[in-house]
Structure 1
Amino acid sequence: MKREILMQGVELAPIVERLKEEGTKRGLSQSANNEYGPVFINHHYDLRIERDPGDWGQYRLMLMHKLQPKSSFFGMFRRG
């Protein structure tokens, strides 16, 4: 899974607002909430707020790219 930081800061409210904007813009559906706000997902992305592990006073808006194996199409034929 590839992780991309879209926003970082100490105030949670602006990050939650950006999370909702990014989720809508990317066409993601809200699936659940974690302790920092909603979580948006689809089969390609996972968008959520996390604490920065190096600095617990910081929040990060994370976009996780769910990588698909390149051979998955051909794997369908091999499985028979």
Structure 2
Amino acid sequence: MAKQTNIRLDDGIRAAAEERAKRRGLSLQGYLADLIEQDVNESRAAFMAGAQAFIASYATAFEEEFGEDRYPGLPADTTRSASRDAA
């Protein structure tokens, strides 16, 4: 469900935004909503990429410190445990 949000824009910014919206065949509201959605999605993607890089960089250290079963309550991955025990 979409919620309405009110914002205040400087006259010059509003005019420029309206022109850009018009060139894209959008209303001002649609144009601004698209910009915000794009920014949020880019921020989310950047965060996820950073989180994945962090996990990849420190996975060995975490496993050494805390062990392989980092998710209490979930069944252990018997394939990884068996292959590690065989080594």
Query: When the two structures are superposed, what TM-score results if normalisation uses the length of structure 1?
Result: 0.28
User: What is the TM-score with the length of structure 2 in the denominator?
Assistant: 0.26
Greater helix fraction, Structure 1 or Structure 2: 2
* Structure (1/2) with the larger strand percentage: 1
Q: Whose Rg is larger?
A: 2
